[in-house]
Amino acid sequence: MTDGKPRFLIVGAGGVGGFFGGKLAKAGNNVWFLARGNHLGAIKKHGLQIHSTDGNWIVPPGQMTDTPADAGVADVIFVCVKSYDTEVVARQIIPNVGEETLIVSLQNGVDNEEKIKALIPKGEVLGGVAFIYATITRPGVITETGGIKKLTFGLFDSSGQKVQEAELLLRILQDAGISAEHTPDITTALWRKFIFITAVAGLTAMTRLTLGEILAVEPSSRLLRAAMIEAFTVANARGVKLEEDFVEKTLGILEEMKGDTHSSLYYDLMHGKPMEVEALSGTILRYGRMLKVETPVHETIYASLLPHHLRHVAKR
């Protein structure tokens, strides 16, 4: 990547990709969007409409496609699809990856980067964490509803030329008005988000309640805490170093949020879509078994949601 005008490819123009990619495009960057279905049809015809607490704008029609080859080789690729599509998408975007391409996963989960690396022989895969409340509210329209809007990304090997390229990417993101951070410890950043998102997503979907409703009742609040402790214990067993009071601090933050917060897992459940149950509680369960860590809460969440996921996949 050079100081010129790098080419961005946003793989998945939903809440995450649509919003942050839309910010980059609004700032005059060269951005391609890879989408599909009715959403693609709408943005090709009317452009990508962003409704945001930052203001509303439209990315004009033009560089939207469902054919990766149309976008050519990209300098930066943001992978923003659901985790269950990671391997399919990784194979599709191989023609878009050059030797110097930075591939940044902005997905839920902690093993998407491994899957991408295994399938794409070129480029550099970075981990990324996206914090945003945004979704496709109708084909062609992304709605962001407030709260934190931030990207954290980083290299798994923070040495050499790639660090300079990551710093350049950081400047481009910030120049586009995006709150962004380049961290030297992306593994810990990924697990920080993963620990609370597995608990909140899993329980809001399993109970069909908001975060506020779960926290308002002592037994369900205890269950949320137990789910976070299980994930925290798995992280420690994998060598991820987090402060001992991480769970309690995170619960304090969640107490302040409360409100009518659900999760994308809940949204997918209620709208008959495949769910990221394998990437969330399923991963805690799998790592727990490998490391001899008991994870009964996540086993219950997984067992409760997996049948819905499989039914939705069958209908897809």
Q: Which amino acid is at 306?
A: L
- Indicate the pTM of the whole model: 0.94
Burial per residue of 166-196, b for 16 or more beta-carbon CB atoms within 10 angstroms, e otherwise: bebbbebbeebebebebbeebbebbbbbbbb
Per-residue confidence (pLDDT) for residue 222, from 0 to 100: 97
Residue spans of alpha helices (H) in the chain: 15-26, 37-46, 86-92, 112-119, 161-175, 186-207, 211-215, 218-237, 246-257, 264-270, 281-291, 296-315
Is the CATH number of domain 188-315 1.10.1040.10?
yes
- Tokens encoding 271: 């709208």
Give the mean pLDDT per block of 10 residues along the chain (316 residues): 83 97 97 97 97 95 96 98 97 96 97 97 96 93 91 87 92 97 96 96 96 95 98 98 95 81 90 96 98 98 98 90
DSSP SS3 for 128: strand
What are the sequence ranges of the domains in the chain? Answer: 7-184, 188-315
Q: Which of 274, 262, 3, 24 is nearest to 151 (CA)?
A: 24
Q: How many CB atoms lie under 10 A from the CB of residue 159?
A: 7
Write out the DSSP string of 42-53. Answer: HHHHH-EEEE-T
Is the CATH number of domain 7-184 3.40.190.10?
no
Contact (Cβ atoms closer than 8 angstroms) between residue 151 and residue 180: yes
Per-residue confidence (pLDDT) for residue 103, from 0 to 100: 98
Per-residue confidence (pLDDT) for residue 1, from 0 to 100: 65
C-alpha 243/C-alpha 254 separation (Å) is 17
Q: How many CB atoms lie under 10 A from the CB of residue 97?
A: 23
Per-residue confidence (pLDDT) for residue 282, from 0 to 100: 98
Per-residue confidence (pLDDT) for residue 261, from 0 to 100: 78
